[in-house]
Amino acid sequence: MLRVPGVSLRLWYRVILASVISIANTAPGLAEPPPKIAPEAIAWKPASIFAKDDKDDKFEDQPRMNLSGAACVPTTPKFTSCLIANDEKKYAQFFSIKGNVLVPEQLIRLSNEDKDPDAEGVAYADGFFYVTGSHGRSRTKDKENESSYAVFRIAVDPATGIPKTKPDEKKPAGVESSSRLRNVIRDDAVLKEFFNTPLAVNGVNIEGIAARGGRLHFGLRGPSKDEHAFVLSVDANTLFRKDGDLKPSRNSFRLGKDTGIRDLAAVSDGILILAGPVHKEAVPYTVWWWDGEHDVAKPLATLDLSAIAGDAKAEILLPLEETGDSIRVLIMFDGAENGGATSFRIRR
């Protein structure tokens, strides 16, 4: 094997792998779809409903029917402090996982804006939960939603996951908000064409967020352009300052026609991408691995969701366990009561 002097064997293999994936992603035809995998034979269930019933809402508009993002603090024992968001209300909810039971806990108000922030993703890193709004127009009524152009962060104890400020469901407490990402999207050379454009005509809509290496990575459900989907990344701490260089970057991945990013999740060696239809196209939900830097993604699995209600949309990808050759993940759905949690073991 030809090697470059001074380059370690491990790094050399990573370069070769990136080259192989890059060729697959840029070839005229996409490679074969990743293998379809069945869910684990585990019956996940909630201890109670997520969030509270709102007597003025229809059943399909209740928060527990519109769960959209989740993340957990890496506590010991695991999963004692997690946060889940919904895209219908101004609050998120803490929860824990005990065996195969999801235990809803305290609510936390995110915003006092007139409208909800259309929260679509949750991430955790370095003592903070992050929640992102969609940064797009209303999907059903095509109305401008100023409240959606926000990213929130909540400080917690990194050892226990306990919020540093007591959460309040009626007013934001211990919640910082930033609207700076809006201008990053508006000024991006590629994304500006789709900024403040309805999702129905390929407009910008953030659906996932991951935190890794001091940066926040935002996965875009739309636009899908020339079979490519996009991730926009900025410096995490600077985003919550009034000024300073956000050091924005954009990555694109050839995931397929009418395919966008439905969630992101950081793992030990990179970031997992949950991909699915931009709208309601007949596009399978797939999981990819990304190193967090380059414009290449490795396909890992196509999810067998045949047992899931047809109108439910996979929108939460929550890592449960990692081994040398596999990752267990929990998939949850917008449109399924209490998220319809389903787990999969995915080979790396």
pLDDT tens-place string over residues 313-339? 999 999 999 999 999 999 999 999 999
Distance between CA atoms of 184 and 188, rounded to whole angstroms?
Answer: 6
68 closest CA partner among 239, 229, 207, 204:
207
**Distance (Å, whole) CA 72 – CA 318:** 8
DSSP 8-state code for residue 225? B
The answer to whether 124 and 83 are in contact (CB under 8 A) is: yes
Task: Read off the pLDDT band of 31 (50, 70, 90).
Answer: very low
CB 250 within 8 A of CB 233: yes
Specify the higher pLDDT residue, 42 or 11: 42
| Confidence band of 32 (pLDDT split at 50, 70, 90) | low
Average pLDDT over residues 206-221: 98
User: How far apart are alpha carbons 246 and 238 in whole angstroms?
Assistant: 6
268-312: pLDDT as tens digits: 999 999 999 999 899 999 999 999 999 999 999 999 999 998 789
Neighbours of 47 (CB within 10 A): 13
- How far apart, in Å, do the first and last CA atoms of the chain sit? 25
pLDDT of the residue at 139:
62
Residue 13 reports pLDDT greater than 50: no
pLDDT for residue 172: 96
In this predicted structure, what is the pLDDT of residue 27? 38
Confidence of residue 198 (pLDDT cuts 50, 70, 90): confident
> Using CA atoms, how far apart are residues 148 and 161, in angstroms rounded to an integer?
26
Residue 155, pLDDT > 70, answer yes
With contact defined as beta carbons under 8 Å apart, do 146 and 117 qualify?
no
User: Mean per-residue pLDDT for 1-14?
Assistant: 47
User: How many other CB atoms sit within 10 Å of the CB of residue 166?
Assistant: 10
* pTM across the whole model: 0.90
> Residue 24 pLDDT more than 80?
no
Provide the pLDDT confidence category of residue 9 given band limits of 50, 70 and 90.
Answer: very low
Count CB-CB contacts under 10 A for residue 196.
16
Asked which of 75-84, 102-111, 199-208 is least confident by mean pLDDT, the reply is 199-208
Q: Residue 152: what pLDDT?
A: 98
Q: How confident is the model at residue 61 (pLDDT cuts 50, 70, 90)?
A: confident
What's the confidence (pLDDT) of residue 4? 45
Cis, bond preceding 319 (omega within 30 deg of 0): no
Angle formed at CA 304 by CA 303 and CA 306, multiple of 5 degrees:
140
